[in-house]
Structure 1
Amino acid sequence: MSTLIAAENLGHAYHDEWLFKNLTLGIQPGQRVALVGINGAGKSTLLKLLAERFEPLEGKIVKNKSVRIGFLDQDPQFNEAYSISDFIFSTENRQQQLIREYEELLEDPDPDQDKLNKLYEDLSEHNAWEFEHQIKTILSRMGIQHLQQKIGTLSGGQRKRLALAKLLIDDPDFLVLDEPTNHLDIDTIEWLEKLLTTGNKTLLLVTHDRYFLDNVCNSIVELDQGKMFSYQGNYAYFLERKAERSASEASSLQKNQNLLKKELEWMRRQPQARATKSQARIDAFYDLEEKTKQKSSNQSVTLNMKMSRQGGKILELDHIQKTFDSRAIIDDFSYVFKKGDRIGLAGKNGTGKSTLLNILTGVLAPDSGKVDIGETTVFGYYRQGGLAFNEKDRVIDVVKSTAEYIKMADGSTISASALLTLFLFPPKKQHGMVEKLSGGERKRLQLMRVLMQNPNFLILDEPTNDLDIDTLNVLEEFLENFPGILMLVSHDRYLLDKMSDQLFIMEGEGKVRVYNGNYSEYRLSLENAKVAKEKSKQVSSASNSTQKRTFKEQQALIQAEQNISEIEKKIADLTVELNNTDGTDFEKIQMLSDQLLQLQKELDHHTEVWIELSEK
């Protein structure tokens, strides 16, 4: 099979430091490759080189001239004066221009019927109706509606979705995607997974989303300390092989360190007059020292921050309501937060997730209702938008502006510099400028600033954006052992499943639904409800369907329907009671939680019975 695009002996430096040298990579048609590695390893730089955004300092990119490359930048740049239409529709593509005219005319409340009829004919003549449907689907999925809107008025998330929409509409031969799931809701991510795995698409992507990576990619390339390692298989296979390689390297490192120790003794004993006679051995010593130093520096982030004491009263929401532009965002929502709460916040973009978080933390006041915060509650709020760093500040000064010394979980106190080292900022990076940090390193610095406050109520709004998978694994380990309240907004389904046992579902029109379970359980309940609804339609429309059931089975089906209805009502009543229970009444909280768990199991059982009988 011919190679679609290849990198030969690639080398590139950033701020006078080599990210990698002598890299060679070939991508075949139909190959879907994930590029993984720690923040700052050079992943985004490698993507830009392969997308021909700039020339490498060493080596070359080889491809057929006819290959069309589409690139999604981590932070897309636009002409602010352009409208969405100007950007989306290519002037060279006649079909796209006809579709543009048609869509813009439809936005007019009083369209010219003659023009509309003429466009109908032109679209049919150019076989553009199917293409028009594809474009409309993509724009709708990305939440893009008003084609005349100026790009300068869009938020960062809207811009990223606009750039992705343009790429999917153009449908290039080779897709290069830097964090494509950032700023997408989960429904859209699942739609994108299906789109990218349909047909024989070729792509190279960087993503922190492990479900997305596993569902889309069929091979993985790891960038580690300037070297490249390839794995044919999914993410689970990569982890197994990486563990084997790490174990082998650890063994080699131990041998190198023992040899280095002996060679160091020899170097110290070596008479100055004989140095020229053993130059080869001296050179070998320095090579060994460099290799050992590189391997020793391959550490992981350490998170073991202290948590402030938490009292009995944490946070109570009493019938809160918030409206923007006459549109209800939150309508009459009440909840009493309890010790040990681990809540995932889910819902489509624009349904009010960030608004609710801002109300919880006092950034935004509700229009009505009450937010009662306990005296000992200390928020740690990791915002999706990030921190506004001064680009010319040194990294260590950013940290020292919060605190010179920080309390750790074991009661010890460490300096700002020592804490930066634990977060994988070596002395050289600490004293460097913020402008030299990668996107992921900035996020890691932001996370560190939040944890320095020793919060007992931790709110993470899309914490996985731009973080490398290694850092995410450490973050997950920290969150699993975090004894305080956790509220998590994330499109990362893996993280939501692992870290939350309860969901606030922002359903739109101000409704906030409380669901006891994680995201996968919630999705399964939706699928079961959908199947049940479809089966119900089939049963009512097919008059002969009941003839295939025995009388006993027909009675069991009716009973299952009654059981499902009764249990759903009990769950709703118990959920309201649990939400309004005093946070200090732990016995009642435990009792209600156990009852809800048992009812959910019964509901699942009766739903399965209903589905099985209704299929007959």
Structure 2
Amino acid sequence: MNYLSVDKLSKSFGDKSLFQEISFGIDQGQKIALVGINGAGKSTLMKIIMGLEVADAGEVVFNQTIKVAYVHQNPVFDGQLSIYQTIFSESTSEVLNVIDQYQKALLVAETGKDNSDDLNVLMEQMDALQAWDYEYQVKEVLGKLGLHDTELPIGQLSGGQRKRVALAKAILEKPDLLLLDEPTNHLDLATIEWLEDYLSKANLALLMVTHDRYFLEKVTNEILELDAGSIHRYLGNYSYFLIKKAERREIEATEQEKAKSLYKKELDWIRRQPKARGTKAKYRVDAFEETKSKAFQHREEREVELQVSSRRLGSKILELDKLSKRFDAKVILDEFSYIFKKGDKIGIVGPNGAGKTTFLNMLTGAISPDSGLVTKGQTTAFGYYKQEEDSFDEAKRLIDIVKEIAEVVTLANGSVITASQFLNQFGFPPKQQHTPIAKLSGGERRRLQLLMVLIKTPNFLILDEPTNDLDIVTLNTVEDFLDNFPGCLIIVSHDRYFMDRLVDHLFVFQEEGKIKDFPGNYTDLREWEKEEAGKKTLATSQTTKKEASPKAEEPKAQNTAKASYKQKQEFVAIQAEIKENEEKKKALIEKINAGTEDHEQLMSWSQAIQEIDDTLENLEFRWLELSELDGIMD
């Protein structure tokens, strides 16, 4: 069943054309990501589909029988309403409306007013709609998204919290088609993982703009690339898209070379013809113009090239001695000490509100600790890329903004280039450099913000959510640069791929202001946490068994630790079953990556992979239990 049709859509801003006569559709079960470089028009296209922008031409048609939900990049709500009121206001879900009425009736009853008749009617409606289970789901979704105090006014929430409210509202509407614009921005890692898991299993169609590569890999089964004003479709996940995109570029380059060769031959023919050409030759003239257009087609790659020099670091870089910080009763930091070394690449993880940004501000001296010392080396020069977007003079031109800091820039190889050349390396071509800041897209503004940090040649980089709004091409280039950055690096990011590639250990913010220095990247941390959780579960299970039979505990203590013949057989069988399921999963992944136009088949394969993952989790847990027994390997 078709849910959404985009037919011959075109949009331009002044002389800049974003896309021309693009067409695509979304069917039941399809989970599609829209990707492209910053400024390609992704957010504009999403706004047109959501009804927030008007196209120059073409139309967007939704199936009138389905329910559609939207989550905007920066959602706006009535600041006077509470979180709970916002989620339930203007709801199109009958179940949500009944739950809302029931909750309000309970509040009335608590005041002592007799409204038993109303409550009885609402309870019958709750029964008829099977809303009791749904009420539990409402609480679960709000809890997973960190929305515990639902009476807080929207006006008191941060941008990230408003994003969570928008996500909760959309999910609880139980839509057939969900549209998401940068859903992972401003979410912490635990929430992103929950959302990723939910969307990969949910029975709905999905269209989203995101730069989170792990999210793309797990959730989507199709990629739409907005490139040079056209739409290119890839049936498969992100890995498949990368392979097929490279193949497409090679084919296009070959075709362009052929067109250039043909153009030279046709140009010679055109020059030899008399000015008054006959009708018979008109078709060849038209074909010549088409060949010329193809041969000299300009592709705006916007490749970013980072080659900025950095200052030399001395032997003493930055030392933290027993730092402590609290706000009222909340402890942010409790006597934390660390001595930074050359080449340190540290990731910072922890839930929103744990104090990560406060910690960064203490390092740079913007905030003072309650106690303890921050000692900076004489040669240490900070470059601080903040989570909040810098405020630029909207009327000023790009080139003027950069020249205020430096007329020339020294590169890593020692060569010197002009401010204009430096902008060009950052993906701002000469033509764009003389346009006002007001015309930049969100991603382009963030790229400019990064440029303004690096132009000062820091040797200690602090990046607070640097991946927000940056396209995948820019992210890959930034990663290459940071991978070879000779100074110290601290990263706070919700982008797990970004963290995994760049950091070698983590500061993990825990309760009561404690920070754990973990040796490894984010994936290593998650694996370690799972292992620890498994050990705790196993210990709890063994303790429960002992408490259930206290009399038998003493005489059987040695016997229960020895593996029986039956347990050994089970252990061998589980190993074989794990291997068999892993092979099945690998085969299904290969099928998905190969692509198919049968979207129901894609959904079936995805569900089968999830079922295998659940089975493997149970098998591996049982394998872990048995592996603790003495003699199991004999």
TM-score of the superposition, structure 1-length normalised?
0.83
Amino acid at match of 2:627: E
| Residues 197-206 or 277-286, more deviating | 277-286
Shift of 1:496: 1.0
For 1:68, the equivalent position in structure 2 comes to 67
Shift of 1:265: 8.0
Q: What SS does the corresponding residue of 1:300 show, helix, strand or coil?
A: coil
Q: Give runs of aligned pairs for residues 451-462 of structure 1, distance below 5 A.
A: 451-462=454-465
Shift of 1:115: 7.5
User: Structure 1 residues 81 and 392, CA, compared in 2 at 3 Å: closer, same or farther?
Assistant: farther
Which residue of the other structure, out of 604, 612, 615, is the alignment partner of 2:627?
A: 612
Amino acid at match of 2:361: N
Q: What SS does the corresponding residue of 1:190 show, helix, strand or coil?
A: helix
User: Identity rate of aligned residues, in percent?
Assistant: 45
Q: Is the 8 A contact 2:105 2:119 kept in 1?
A: no
Which consecutive unaligned segments of at least 5 residues does structure 2 have? 547-555, 566-622
- 2:142 is equivalent to residue 139 of structure 1: yes
- 2:319 is equivalent to residue 325 of structure 1: no
For 2:275, the equivalent position in structure 1 comes to 274
Q: Is the 8 A contact 1:539 1:614 kept in 2?
A: no
- 2:176 is equivalent to residue 164 of structure 1: no
* Structure 1 Cα separation of the partners of residues 497 and 395 of structure 2: 36
* Structure 1 Cα separation of the partners of residues 324 and 426 of structure 2: 40
* Structure 2 Cα separation of the partners of residues 486 and 104 of structure 1: 51
For 1:362, the equivalent position in structure 2 comes to 365
Q: What SS does the corresponding residue of 1:197 show, helix, strand or coil?
A: helix
Q: Is the 8 A contact 2:96 2:173 kept in 1?
A: no
- 2:558 is equivalent to residue 550 of structure 1: no
For 1:88, the equivalent position in structure 2 comes to 87
* Structure 1 Cα separation of the partners of residues 14 and 255 of structure 2: 31
Amino acid at match of 2:217: D
* Structure 1 Cα separation of the partners of residues 80 and 451 of structure 2: 37
- 2:258 is equivalent to residue 243 of structure 1: no
* Structure 1 Cα separation of the partners of residues 118 and 487 of structure 2: 60
Q: Give runs of aligned pairs for residues 163-562 of structure 1, distance below 5 A.
A: 163-257=166-260, 270=271, 274=275, 287-542=290-545, 547=559, 549-550=561-562
* Structure 1 Cα separation of the partners of residues 412 and 38 of structure 2: 25
* Structure 2 Cα separation of the partners of residues 495 and 9 of structure 1: 36
Shift of 1:96: 3.5
Residues 230-257 of structure 1, C-alpha deviations (whole Å, 9 max, x = no match): 1111111111111111122222334445
* Structure 1 Cα separation of the partners of residues 201 and 97 of structure 2: 26
Amino acid at match of 1:510: G
Shift of 1:317: 0.5
User: Structure 1 residues 515 and 204, CA, compared in 2 at 3 Å: closer, same or farther?
Assistant: same
For 2:574, the equivalent position in structure 1 comes to none
Amino acid at match of 1:369: G
* Structure 1 Cα separation of the partners of residues 438 and 494 of structure 2: 28
Amino acid at match of 2:393: N
Q: Is the 8 A contact 2:106 2:119 kept in 1?
A: no
Shift of 1:549: 4.4
* Structure 2 Cα separation of the partners of residues 106 and 461 of structure 1: 44
Q: Is the 8 A contact 1:69 1:172 kept in 2?
A: yes
Shift of 1:483: 1.1
Shift of 1:407: 1.2
Q: Is the 8 A contact 1:218 1:233 kept in 2?
A: yes
Q: Is the 8 A contact 1:253 1:295 kept in 2?
A: no
For 1:29, the equivalent position in structure 2 comes to 28
Kindly tell me the number of residue pairs found equivalent between the two proteins.
Answer: 559
User: Structure 1 residues 119 and 169, CA, compared in 2 at 3 Å: closer, same or farther?
Assistant: farther
User: Structure 1 residues 534 and 371, CA, compared in 2 at 3 Å: closer, same or farther?
Assistant: same
Shift of 1:31: 0.5
User: Structure 1 residues 506 and 9, CA, compared in 2 at 3 Å: closer, same or farther?
Assistant: same
Shift of 1:68: 2.2
Q: Is the 8 A contact 1:85 1:100 kept in 2?
A: no
User: Structure 1 residues 275 and 613, CA, compared in 2 at 3 Å: closer, same or farther?
Assistant: farther
Query: Once superposed, what is the RMSD of the aligned Cα atoms?
Result: 3.1
Amino acid at match of 1:373: K
For 1:5, the equivalent position in structure 2 comes to 4
* Structure 2 Cα separation of the partners of residues 353 and 170 of structure 1: 33
| Residues 211-220 or 79-88, more deviating | 79-88
Residues 483-528 of structure 1, C-alpha deviations (whole Å, 9 max, x = no match): 1111111111111111111000011321111111111111111111
Q: What SS does the corresponding residue of 1:386 show, helix, strand or coil?
A: coil
Q: What SS does the corresponding residue of 1:126 show, helix, strand or coil?
A: helix
Q: Is the 8 A contact 2:394 2:436 kept in 1?
A: yes
Amino acid at match of 1:173: D
Q: What SS does the corresponding residue of 2:494 show, helix, strand or coil?
A: coil
* Structure 2 Cα separation of the partners of residues 388 and 541 of structure 1: 58
User: Structure 1 residues 250 and 272, CA, compared in 2 at 3 Å: closer, same or farther?
Assistant: closer
Shift of 1:283: 6.0
Shift of 1:98: 5.7
User: Structure 1 residues 254 and 373, CA, compared in 2 at 3 Å: closer, same or farther?
Assistant: farther
* Structure 2 Cα separation of the partners of residues 140 and 106 of structure 1: 21
User: Structure 1 residues 453 and 262, CA, compared in 2 at 3 Å: closer, same or farther?
Assistant: farther
Which consecutive unaligned segments of at least 5 residues does structure 1 have? 554-607
Shift of 1:102: 6.9
Amino acid at match of 1:243: A
* Structure 2 Cα separation of the partners of residues 365 and 118 of structure 1: 60
* Structure 1 Cα separation of the partners of residues 13 and 336 of structure 2: 50
Amino acid at match of 1:381: Y
Q: Is the 8 A contact 2:321 2:337 kept in 1?
A: yes
Amino acid at match of 1:500: V
Q: Is the 8 A contact 1:539 1:546 kept in 2?
A: no
Shift of 1:437: 1.2
Amino acid at match of 1:550: K
Q: Is the 8 A contact 1:535 1:614 kept in 2?
A: no
Q: Is the 8 A contact 2:101 2:122 kept in 1?
A: no
Q: What SS does the corresponding residue of 1:56 show, helix, strand or coil?
A: coil
* Structure 1 Cα separation of the partners of residues 184 and 11 of structure 2: 27
| Residues 497-506 or 79-88, more deviating | 79-88
For 1:56, the equivalent position in structure 2 comes to 55
Residues 357-404 of structure 1, C-alpha deviations (whole Å, 9 max, x = no match): 111111111111000011111111111112112222222222222222
Q: Is the 8 A contact 1:462 1:488 kept in 2?
A: yes
User: Structure 1 residues 272 and 377, CA, compared in 2 at 3 Å: closer, same or farther?
Assistant: farther
User: Structure 1 residues 276 and 316, CA, compared in 2 at 3 Å: closer, same or farther?
Assistant: farther
* Structure 1 Cα separation of the partners of residues 117 and 370 of structure 2: 50
Q: Is the 8 A contact 1:536 1:614 kept in 2?
A: no
User: Structure 1 residues 369 and 258, CA, compared in 2 at 3 Å: closer, same or farther?
Assistant: farther
User: Structure 1 residues 169 and 113, CA, compared in 2 at 3 Å: closer, same or farther?
Assistant: farther
| Residues 63-72 or 446-455, more deviating | 63-72
Shift of 1:177: 0.4
Q: Is the 8 A contact 1:345 1:487 kept in 2?
A: yes
For 2:607, the equivalent position in structure 1 comes to none
Shift of 1:107: 10
